Chains A and B, each alone.
Chain A
Amino acid sequence: MATKTIAGVTLDVSGEGYLNDPAQWTKEIASEIAKEEGIELTEKHFELIEWIRNKVESGEALTIRGIGKSGVVDIKGFYQLFPGAPLKKATKISGVPKPASCI
């Protein structure tokens, strides 16, 4: 449990930098976190971020397979938007908890 100031707002974050309270998230915060991860957010990114936030809010589990079927991107596109560790990066930028799934 720690706090971090992002985009001028002091936030509750986990040890790895994930927002503890998704309600505190704003687009500016997303852009700041993305910059730390070396990503410049585009319309497509935000479309997917919105999809991720909706999915988490409705209580459904996030899987990379689910994202491939989201209709927003396919899995290859997902890796291009968030290179390296896409699910970890996308959830961090989306202000939702770290996904605890193996798939």
Chain B
Amino acid sequence: MAEFWQQVVSGLAAGGVYGALALALVLIHRATGVINFAQGEMATFSTYVLWTLTTNHGLSYWPAFAIMLVVSFAGGVGIHQAVIRPVERGSQVRVVIITIGLLLLLNGLMTWIWSGEVKAVQSPFPGGTFDLGGVAIAYADIGTIAVCLGAVAVLWLFFQFTKVGLALRASAVNPAEARLVGVRVTWMLGLGWGLAATLGAIAGVLTAPSTFLDPNMMQAVLIYAFAAAVLGGIDSPMGAVVGGLLLGVGLNLLGTYASFVGSELRLPAALLVILVVLLLRPAGLFGRQQVKKV
């Protein structure tokens, strides 16, 4: 039984990371209807920035973390400005192809700058476990869950209670009407990309200690994030987070108790989730049904 709860806790931690990256995907999709295939690579890039700051520039963890967040935000805004804005208004397919191009570009850039060698990234949390009712719970897991939920909470407060947050929400669903009340929608979209990049950076930094850092680190996590976003409803922020947690716990339990799945079939299992949800209930758990019967 202790094993079960341990898997649940570590599943929640993994799920928190999936949820954070999924939230980034949902933010961008809500605002622009685009799926950003480069979200994972952007997160990995941010993690490399953190690694460089702590390793090559001798900064301690939390100051480096803060700088990395700012750099990530700026990067997200910059990317939107440079390559997304020119094609935003046109066909979604073109924008998606551009994000795929970004995926390649960033991946290659990371290999170029930092080489493909695997690097170790320190964890901000103390190692080891503590005992809670006979269950061994890792500090790292609790820390990860706390950081992810904290980030989500801060974002929620921003959207609900600030003027800019309100304007961003308005731009996402009614861009034309938002312009009429004076909102600079293009800036809002850039802001959305910046926030998404920051969320992704947090996801990347929380993943790196256990998986080690290399250019392909977030490829699998991106698929899990896709699955979480689709499961929760691709336009629902709450769905992304809930979907992530559910997926994290679900995959862990499946891997532990269904020996057929083992650890190698986690990725195909996530893929199966994507396919099943899209085919049976495309709106996911919390999304709204879109009518498009042909």
Q: Is chain B a partner of chain A in the same complex?
A: no
Footprint of A on B, CB under 8 Å?
Answer: none
